[in-house]
Structures are given as structure tokens and as C-alpha cells.
């Protein structure tokens, strides 16, 4: 397995491999950039097929966190960590405490939080070994689950996208929501309250039918979601959902959702523009959760968090206007905003757009 020659390495500042046989811990921490501040990013636990897959994932995700923090105007850099293992079988308090020890050794250069395969409650154990952790349970002075705030940011982003592309409000429009996890479910509630009609799908059929009852939503099979007649497509599950297979099926006018790395490749952003489908870049629209947990690091201020999350809509409007003036895909315009925030420096390969950032699930 190579590191420096890996395409996803992209000038990362630091990559740390962790092993603790006593507790069964194998993990990787990737710090992409600390130019704007300490690197903040979640700790994912996933049964990767091999070490190379885990390395590729953590490198791409950490670079994406640099983009997200910069676009959100936060004084933070980008990082990520992954634990190799099945969270349903291998996650123990001892393993989580050992992960906290590994984070602590970095002296504050990396701040961790919950992610796929880990929970807010898990970080009560991580917190026993390090103070460099956010997204803690409220009982420990944290702000709890950030998913509702992520969903709220996505909602504001959809409102801005619809206003820009269609010149109207959400009421009466149809939104197709892919994925009914914490973010997708909370987003459905907000959309339904705004008067939107919902089409939903999830690999968990029980969840989908619960959404049907709760939000008067129409349920479709997972593979059918790409071809439904809807004004907005809101992917809130897997990454790389805009690809060679799915894009020809799409009749949406807006794509704006909570999942990371939605474009399989850069060229798909250009193809969306050619098809007159407005794309809200994922690392901009889904920054609400990051904004919330970052506030724990700085001292939680609810009013400030609410203003920043609502500001996601204004940031997207700026990106859409820039893309329109320059004739570039919205993803490229968003990367220009990131470069401005980073002072024009091509930290970690940023100047080369997202360099196929979205090939992996986020």
C-alpha cells in the first residue's frame, strides 16, 4: 500500500496509522490542512474491504472537510479519521478510549467527532482520553446529535436553490429524498412543513413506509428514485449518486441534498450544467452539522450557529451567481470560493477543483 503516490494524498499535512492489538484498534487519522485552524472531522467506523480502501476514504474525506470548513467561513482546517472494523461487532469502550489516546497524541492539531458507524454517545468514551473532541452528549456539555442542524442547513440550501432556478417558494413543488437516516428524516419534516410534496426511498423499507405515513410521501424503490418526476432531488445517503448510469435518467431541475461527494467525477458537474440542472455543491449545503459541532470548540452560541446555518443559502446564491457569470459548473465556482477563503493558496491540491473527490461514498 502506498501513501505519497496515492492520487488522493493531495499534499496532506499528516497521516497517522494507529494500532492497538490489545483492544483490536486499527485506525488512520488524516490531517489535510491546518491553514485556517485545527483540523476538524468525524471519526468513521466501517468494515473496509482492505487497508487501501480505508486509506483512500480517509484521505478524500479529510480533503473534503477542508473545503467544507473554508466554504462555511470557519476558522478550522480539514481532517478525518477511520476505524477499520464493523461497528455492530467490534466497537467497545476500550477501543473508543484507545482512539481518544491516538487523537490526544496529536496535541490539538486534529479534533474528532461522530460520523458513520459512531454515535454521539460513543464520544463520551473517547472524551475520557482527550479533550480534542466535539459533538458530545449534552450531559457532558456538548450539543448532542448534529444531524438536525445538518438537515436545517440543507433545507435553507434547497430554498435558495429553488428560488434561483425556479424563482419561487417550495410550497407545491415535489422533492425526491434519497435516504431516511437522521438527516434525511429531519429534512423531510422541514420540507413537508413548507408544503412540498415528497417522494422518498431508503434501503430500509420500514423507514420508507414510516415516512409515507408521517409525511404523506410516495415511496419508490431505491433504484427508481433517479427517474421520478420531481422538481428537486435531495440525496441524503450514499455518495457518487450522480454518475454515468443515473444522470441520463434525471429530469430534476435542482439537485440539493445532504450526502457528501455526490458527483462521481468532475465532468458530471459540467453535464448537469449542460442539462440545465442546478447543482448545490455538497460541501457547501451540508455544512450545518460541522458549524454546530465547531461551535462547541469555540464556545457554543445558539444564535450565532443559527445565523451561520441560515447563511448557507446566501453562500449558495453567491456561488450560483458566480457560476452564471463565468459559465462554469457550480462545483467549480464553489472551489473558487474555497480558494479565496484560503488566501488563493492551492492547499492540498485545491486549485485543481475537486479532482474526482466524489468517487467514494462519503
Identified catalytic residue from 22, 68, 80, 304: 80
Q: Taking 60 as the threshold, does the pLDDT of residue 7 lie above it?
A: yes
Q: How far apart are CA 164 and CA 185, in angstroms?
A: 25
For residue 142, the model assigns a pLDDT of 86
Residues of the chain above pLDDT 70, percent:
94
CA angle 341-16-360, nearest 5°? 65
Which CATH number among 3.90.1150.10, 3.40.50.720, 3.50.50.60, 3.30.70.20 corresponds to the domain 147-287+316-344? 3.40.50.720
Where in the chain is CATH 3.40.50.720? 147-287+316-344
| Under 8 Å between Cβ of 149 and 128 | no
Q: How far apart are CA 165 and CA 225, in angstroms?
A: 21
Cβ-Cβ contacts under 8 Å for 350 (sequence gap 6 or more): 66, 67, 335, 338, 339, 342
Q: Write the DSSP assignment of 224-289 as a string of letters.
A: GGGGS--SEEEE-S-S--BSTTTGGG---SEE--S-S--BSSHHHHHHHHHTT-EE--HHHHT-HH
For residue 110, the model assigns a pLDDT of 98
Where in the chain is CATH 3.40.50.10860? 7-66+76-140
Per-residue CA distances from 104 to 112, 130, 141, 226 (Å): 10, 5, 19, 43
Residue range 189-206, pLDDT digits in tens = 999 999 999 999 999 999
Residue range 316-347, pLDDT digits in tens = 999 999 999 999 999 999 999 999 888 854 44
Here the cell at position 84 is 477499520
Burial (Cβ within 10 Å: 0-12, 13-18, ≥19) of residue 302: exposed
Q: Taking 90 as the threshold, does the pLDDT of residue 17 lie above it?
A: yes
Cβ-Cβ contacts under 8 Å for 324 (sequence gap 6 or more): none
Query: Which CATH class for the 7-66+76-140 domain?
Result: alpha beta
- Paired residues of 200 in beta bridges: 177, 219
Catalytic residue list contains 251? no
Q: How far apart are CA 90 and CA 100, in angstroms?
A: 16
Q: Taking 50 as the threshold, does the pLDDT of residue 360 lie above it?
A: no
Residue range 101-122, pLDDT digits in tens = 999 999 999 999 988 899 999 9
- Bigger pLDDT: 2 vs 161: 161
- The pTM assigned to this predicted structure is 0.86
Residue range 247-305, pLDDT digits in tens = 999 999 999 999 988 999 889 999 999 999 999 999 999 999 999 988 887 778 889 99
Amino acid at each position: 500500500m502506498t501513501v505519497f503516490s496515492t492520487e488522493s494524498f493531495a499534499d496532506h499535512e499528516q497521516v497517522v496509522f494507529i494500532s492497538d492489538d490489545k483492544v483490536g484498534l486499527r485506525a488512520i487519522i488524516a490531517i489535510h490542512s491546518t491553514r485556517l485552524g485545527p483540523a476538524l472531522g468525524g471519526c468513521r467506523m466501517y468494515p473496509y474491504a482492505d487497508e487501501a480502501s480505508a486509506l483512500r476514504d480517509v484521505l478524500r474525506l479529510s480533503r473534503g472537510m477542508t473545503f467544507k470548513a473554508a466554504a462555511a467561513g470557519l476558522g478550522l482546517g480539514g481532517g478525518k479519521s477511520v476505524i477499520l472494523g464493523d461497528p455492530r461487532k467490534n466497537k467497545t469502550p476500550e477501543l473508543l478510549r484507545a482512539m481518544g489516546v491516538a487523537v490526544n497524541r496529536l496535541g490539538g492539531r486534529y479534533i474528532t467527532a461522530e460520523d458513520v458507524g459512531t454515535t454521539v454517545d460513543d464520544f463520551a468514551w473517547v472524551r475520557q482520553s482527550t479533550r480534542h473532541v466535539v459533538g458530545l452528549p449534552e450531559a457532558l456539555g456538548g450539543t448532542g446529535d448534529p444531524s438536525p442542524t445538518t438537515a436545517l442547513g440543507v433545507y435553507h440550501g434547497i430554498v435558495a436553490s429553488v428560488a434561483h432556478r425556479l424563482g419561487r417558494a417550495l410550497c407545491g413543488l415535489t422533492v425526491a429524498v434519497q435516504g431516511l437516516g437522521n438527516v434525511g428524516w429531519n429534512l423531510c419534516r422541514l420540507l413537508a412543513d413548507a408544503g412540498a410534496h415528497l417522494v422518498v426511498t431508503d434501503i430500509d423499507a420500514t423507514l420508507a413506509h414510516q415516512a409515507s405515513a408521517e409525511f404523506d410521501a410516495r415511496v419508490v424503490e431505491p433504484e427508481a428514485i433517479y427517474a421520478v418526476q420531481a422538481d428537486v432531488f435531495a440525496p441524503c445517503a450514499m455518495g457518487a449518486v450522480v454518475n454515468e448510469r443515473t444522470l441520463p435518467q434525471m429530469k430534476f431541475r435542482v439537485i440539493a441534498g445532504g450526502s457528501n461527494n455526490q458527483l462521481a467525477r468532475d465532468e458530471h458537474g459540467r453535464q448537469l450544467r449542460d442539462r440545465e440542472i442546478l447543482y448545490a455543491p455538497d460541501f457547501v449545503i451540508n455544512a450545518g452539522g460541522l458549524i454546530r459541532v465547531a461551535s462547541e470548540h469555540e464556545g457554543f452560541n445558539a444564535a450565532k450557529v443559527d445565523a451561520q446555518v441560515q447563511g448557507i443559502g446566501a453562500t449558495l446564491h453567491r456561488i450560483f451567481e458566480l457560476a452564471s457569470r463565468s459559465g462554469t459548473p457550480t462545483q467549480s465556482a464553489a472551489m473558487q470560493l474555497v480558494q479565496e477563503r484560503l488566501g488563493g493558496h492551492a492547499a492540498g491540491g485545491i486549485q485543481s477543483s475537486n479532482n474526482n473527490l466524489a468517487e467514494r461514498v462519503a
